[in-house]
Structure 1
Amino acid sequence: MAQIIIIAKEPVAGRVKTRLTPPYNPDQAAALAEAALRDSLLTVSATPASQRILALDGLPGSWLLPGFVVIPQRGTGLDERLAAAFSDAYRLRPEAVVLIGMDTPQVTPALLGEAVEGLERHDAVFGPAADGGFWLLGLREPDPSLLLGVPMSHPETGKLQLDRLDRAGLTVHLLPELTDVDTAADAVAVAEQVPSSRFAATLRGLGR
């Protein structure tokens, strides 16, 4: 059994989903971010895991569900924050770790369950994102060197991260590609995939 981390920002206007503005204003972008985070928390809650962790930049709010251990993010660049989240979770409980972000409200318990099970047979699990990044990374034995220095928010981030895992000699289980919600077009496309989600309902409430 693995533990699952969501790495997220507190959904505060002006600090999250800035690429959605325009067409949305900062409050609307924050509302979409909170909805995506709520959907992600629900999905993780519905997935069997040894521990559920929220690695948070900011403060928890009313959107937080019971059963999550909240830890602060550490580091400056995203590679440092990801490496620290893995290390901190592994220190709390020395078991395999699956990490996702808050940008894929369409993720399902089945997909996360596949990631957890994948770490029983592989050293790593990797979920590529349509924008060239990745939406999930799972490690049986987290090591900061697997992440530190990998360029993030780059068109080839996913390829470079996967290359890093391959060069370390790790066996990798690949998951299906998902779309991160970064742009307004992404938001519409993802909402269409999960029309009953909080994310889709929030988008409809904005008249989109």
Structure 2
Amino acid sequence: MRSGEHGESACLCVFTRAPVAGKVKTRLLSCMDAESACRLHQQLIDSCLTRTIRNDAWASRLWGTDRTDKFLMRMSEKYAIPLCAQQGHDLGTRMAHAVKTTLQDYQHVVLIGTDCPELDVAYIEAALQELQAGAECVLGPAEDGGYVMLALSKYDESLFYDVAWGTNQVLAITRERIRTLGWQCEEMPVLWDVDRPEDLERLKMMDDL
């Protein structure tokens, strides 16, 4: 049985971009300025970590595009989790590296972003229960055709390479590749991301931010 230094069998990998104005939440720049979009990105990161970190139940790692970013360093210290550097030339290769590396130390890995305000501890717990029951994969579908969570007990590079990231085909492509692998895959309820101007109205109705 693979487990971390404190005996956890699962590791939560939180993927995010370093908050640089003009480089994050670019699809929202039609309705807010770059600095406001950057602040929203920071708030989403902090809120996500508040809702998902469970140091008594699973290990957690924050994977950022810049390991020297001061905000990400503060988040790492605040939540007492390691800050790791994403490695790769696109999102797929960066996620592949994180998953492959993590599964060397843990039985299960749960990969999430920071843009889904409904993703919480209960969602992650349910995914881990499916993995512990024998599923190789658990998908958390997103309304926009992507996914908000990918939980795995196995690694295969086909899940990460030659995928049209950022399009509404990501979920369909991933489902097809899992079928090709012959893996048992379970799916969680569909959630939504904060990506588009219309998502801001939904966010305002929540208490998180």
TM-score interval (norm. to shorter): 0.7 to 0.9
Residue 33 (structure 1) aligned with residue 41 (structure 2): yes
Counterpart Cα distance in 1 of 2:156 and 2:55: 24
Are residues 1:100 and 2:112 paired? yes
Q: Is the 8 A contact 1:47 1:112 kept in 2?
A: no
* Deviation beyond 4 Å, 4+ runs, structure 1: none
- Give the counterpart of 1:168 among 178, 181, 191: 181
Structure 1 gap segments, 5+ residues each: 200-208
Q: CA RMSD in A?
A: 1.6
What corresponds to 1:206 in structure 2? none
Instruction: Please show how residues 1-208 of structure 1 align to structure 2 within 5 Å.
Output: 1-46=9-54, 49-58=57-66, 59=69, 60-64=72-76, 65-91=78-104, 93-121=105-133, 122-192=135-205, 195-197=206-208, 199=209
Given residue 81 of structure 1, which amino acid in structure 2 is its aligned partner? Answer: R
Alpha-carbon distance between aligned partners in 2 of 1:89 and 1:191, rounded to the nearest angstrom? 35
Q: How many residues are matched?
A: 195
Please say which of residues 54-63 and 127-136 is displaced more in the overlay.
54-63
What whole-Å deviation, never above 9, does each CA across 1:24-47 have from its counterpart, x for those lacking one? Answer: 101100111111111111122147
In the superposition, the TM-score normalised over structure 2's length comes to 0.87
Shift of 1:176: 0.7
Contact 1:73 1:81 in 2 (8 A): yes
Counterpart-to-counterpart distance in 2, 1:144 and 1:48:
30
Identity, % of aligned positions: 27
* Per-residue deviation, 1:48: 5.4
Deviations 1:88-125 (A, max 9, x none): 2223x132101000111221211111112111121100
Please give the TM-score of this superposition, normalised by the length of structure 1: 0.87
C-alpha distance in structure 1 between counterparts of 2:101 and 2:35, whole Å: 32
Offset of residue 161 of structure 1: 0.7
1:181: how far off?
0.8
Structure 2: runs of 5+ lacking an equivalent: 1-8
Kindly indicate whether the alpha-carbon contact (under 8 Å) linking 1:124 and 1:137 is maintained by their aligned counterparts in 2: yes
Tell me the secondary structure at the aligned position of residue 119 of structure 1: helix
Rounded to whole Å, the distance in 2 between the matches of 1:31 and 1:88 is: 31
